[in-house]
C-alpha cells in the first residue's frame, strides 16, 4: 500500500507541475503590455532656470535673497521655495511693493504665474526668494541649493551662486 500511495503522490506532483508550466504560456502567444498615452493628462512643463544668483549678505543681517529667471513651455505657477535648514530657517517667495509714501516694502506672495514662452524674472526690486533667519551669512563664492515648487512641474532644484551683484 505504501508503494502505491508514494507513486500516486509523485504522479500528482508531476501533473500539477506540468500543468503549472503549461499555464505560463507558450512562445507563440504574445500579450501586449504597453500602456497607451493618456491624452487627457496635461504634459509636465519643462522648466529652465537661468541667471540665478544670491546676494552676499552683510555679517549683521539674518536675511538674504536669491534671484533668477524662469522659462517654461507650458503655463505654470511658482508656489514656493525652500532651502536646507542649515542655510535658513524660513524661505518665502516675496515681491517688493510701494508702501506708505515713497517707501518700498516686501511682502510674501502665494504664487507667481509663469507664462509659457515668457521669461519670469525674479530680481532686486521685484519678485525674489527671501531667505530669513540665516544660520550664517551668505558668503561670496559659495553656492546654495534652492528648491523651487511649481504647481504642475513639481520641485525643481537649482544651484545658486553667492555673488556681489547680478551676473
Range 84-106 average pLDDT: 90
Find out whether 46 and 72 touch, Cβ atoms under 8 Å: yes
The label of the residue with cell 500516486 reads 8
- Can you give the pTM of this predicted structure? 0.72
Count the residues in the chain: 167
Low-confidence winner among 52-56, 103-107, 111-115, 154-158 (lowest mean pLDDT): 103-107
Q: Tell me: the pLDDT tens digits for 96-114?
A: 988 787 888 899 999 999 9
Question: How do the domains of the chain map onto residue ranges?
Answer: 47-163
Give percent of the chain with pLDDT exceeding 90: 61
Range 13-33 average pLDDT: 43
**Is the model's pLDDT at 1 over the cut of 70?**
no
Give residue 38's pLDDT.
Answer: 53
How many Å is the maximal CA-CA distance in the chain? 108
146 CB-side CA count, 13 A = 28
**47-163 is a CATH 1.20.810.10 domain:** no
Query: For the chain, what is the mean pLDDT?
Result: 81
Grid coordinates given for 17: 507541475
In 3-state terms, what secondary structure has residue 143?
A: strand
Angle ∠(120,121,125) on CA atoms, nearest 5: 135
Amino acid at each position: 500500500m505504501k508503494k502505491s500511495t508514494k507513486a500516486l503522490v509523485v504522479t500528482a506532483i508531476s501533473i500539477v507541475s506540468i500543468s503549472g508550466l503549461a499555464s505560463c504560456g507558450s512562445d507563440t502567444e504574445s500579450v501586449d503590455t504597453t500602456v497607451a498615452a493618456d491624452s487627457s493628462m496635461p504634459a509636465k512643463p519643462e522648466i529652465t532656470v537661468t541667471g540665478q544668483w544670491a546676494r552676499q549678505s552683510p555679517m549683521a543681517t539674518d536675511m538674504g535673497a536669491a534671484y533668477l529667471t524662469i522659462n517654461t513651455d507650458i503655463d505654470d505657477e511658482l508656489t514656493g521655495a525652500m532651502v536646507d535648514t542649515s542655510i535658513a530657517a524660513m524661505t518665502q517667495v516675496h515681491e517688493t511693493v510701494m508702501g506708505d509714501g515713497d517707501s518700498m516694502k516686501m511682502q510674501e506672495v502665494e504664487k507667481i504665474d509663469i507664462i509659457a514662452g515668457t521669461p519670469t524674472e525674479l530680481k532686486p526690486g521685484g519678485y525674489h526668494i527671501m531667505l530669513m533667519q540665516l544660520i550664517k551669512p551668505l558668503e561670496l563664492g559659495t553656492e546654495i541649493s534652492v528648491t523651487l515648487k511649481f504647481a504642475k512641474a513639481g520641485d525643481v532644484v537649482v544651484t545658486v551662486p553667492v555673488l556681489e551683484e547680478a551676473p
